Amino acid sequence: MLIEDAPSLGSAETIDLRVRHAFGGPKHDPLLLAPYLFQATRHLGVIPTVNPAATLPYTAARQFATLQHLSGDRLGLNVVTDTGSARHFSDAAPLGHDAAYDRAEEWLSSLRELWASWSSPAGSALVRDAASGVYADGTRLDAVRHRGEYYAFDGPLNAIPFERGEPVIASPGGSGRGLAFAGANSDIQLALAPLTEKSVREYRARIHAAAIERGRRPDDIRIMFAIQPVIVSSPEEADRLVAASAAPTDDVLRQIAQRQSSDLETDLTSLDLDAPLPSRLFAEHVSQGSLRRLTGDRDVATAPLRAHLTALARLGRISDRSGFVGTAEEFADLVEELGTWGNDGVLLWGDLHPVTVHRTLDELVPVLRRRGILRRDHTGQGLRADLHAF
């Protein structure tokens, strides 16, 4: 289970748009939700979203080490580089897109330095010798004096070392810099791309190339496409839903504009639907993935806002925005086909209203299990072991 998050309500200009319909908030800290999910489950991996801008490395490393131990190695971290919340954590100007990834690389490297601080060439500092009464050998601890571009701290970390490895690292992002970050650091790459064989294979090739460039094996990274399914009872019902979405009303488009304004921290609701987007409308820190979801492959200089919003409103049996409308059997067909194209798994996302969740999963889970797509068994060795068991 991956828990999306944004640590703030974003820019002052769009706060009302974010909270009016609860598109962008309120949101509570997913890291504090994780222990309750671990306590209530036996095998579920939980991946809270974390932002390097929000927590300094030493504190973050200690928190994550604690949760990894308490959960039985079921913790993951979805590392995002959103800089729109920067003003809540310091008075420094928000970093640009690539610089935010540079900071995230240093942050994650810092965590790994601290997690490794209980080991040395002489071996682990953790002795646990009952006969001598020695718990740990302090001479084997690494003091870790880090002085980097973005962070400065000393170690060692005041938390015992991992028994089965560090938390699983996940990352989103489709930009060149985002894919480079994934290639260097991630165990899971969250993919948002058109669900066509060409797009899936090209995306996979880019991730694998990024991994090889950083000295890793392609199979070190699991690529999971995010899909928003609408599960219906028959192909005919799916066709009716798709046809009904082809000509959205202006009211529907304005509702979509409100949601997009929340995601993009930019007020689209006051713009002319029939005019192109103004140049320099979006701040540099705005997510490039969110921008691509809005504009697609259309010419931003000439396409009116109406065209962008209509494309978002329009459903497809399989859409270019990772959407799906169809029966549970048809969805299982899609997942199997994605597997033949080299995809490693899917992440379901969308409306979390209980009615929608039950309507989707009650139909989908039995079909996926019957066809061997959804596993029943777990390794019992934590999230990382489960991730690489298929």
**353 labelled binding-site residue:** no
Residues 6+ apart with CB under 8 A from 195: 225, 227, 318, 319, 320, 322, 324, 334, 338
**97 labelled binding-site residue:** yes
* Other beta carbons within 10 Å of 284: 12
Phi, psi angle pair for 16, to nearest 5°: -60, -40
Burial class of 217 by CB neighbour count within 10 A (0 to 12, 13 to 18, 19+): exposed
- The ranges of the chain annotated as CATH 3.20.20.30 are 2-171
Q: 114: part of which helix (H) or strand (E)?
A: helix 97-115
Residues 6+ apart with CB under 8 A from 296: 308, 311, 320, 321
Per-residue pLDDT of the chain (390 residues; tens, 9 = 90+): 999 988 888 777 778 877 887 877 888 999 999 999 999 999 999 999 999 988 999 999 999 999 999 999 999 999 998 776 777 787 777 788 899 999 999 999 999 999 999 987 778 899 999 999 999 999 999 989 999 999 999 999 999 889 889 999 999 978 899 999 999 999 999 987 778 899 899 999 999 999 999 999 999 999 999 898 999 999 999 999 999 888 899 999 999 998 888 888 888 988 999 999 998 888 777 777 788 888 888 888 899 999 999 988 888 888 766 689 999 999 999 999 999 998 899 999 887 788 888 888 999 999 999 999 988 888 888 999 999 887
- What pLDDT does residue 362 have? 93
At the topology level, CATH places domain 2-171 in TIM Barrel (3.20.20)
DSSP 330-353: HHHHHHHHHHHTT--EEEE-S---
- What pLDDT does residue 174 have? 80
Q: Which two tokens stand for residue 1?
A: 């289970």
136 vs 122: CA distance, rounded Å? 13
- What pLDDT does residue 246 have? 86
Q: Let me know: does 75 contact 34? Beta carbons within 8 Å.
A: yes
**308 labelled binding-site residue:** no
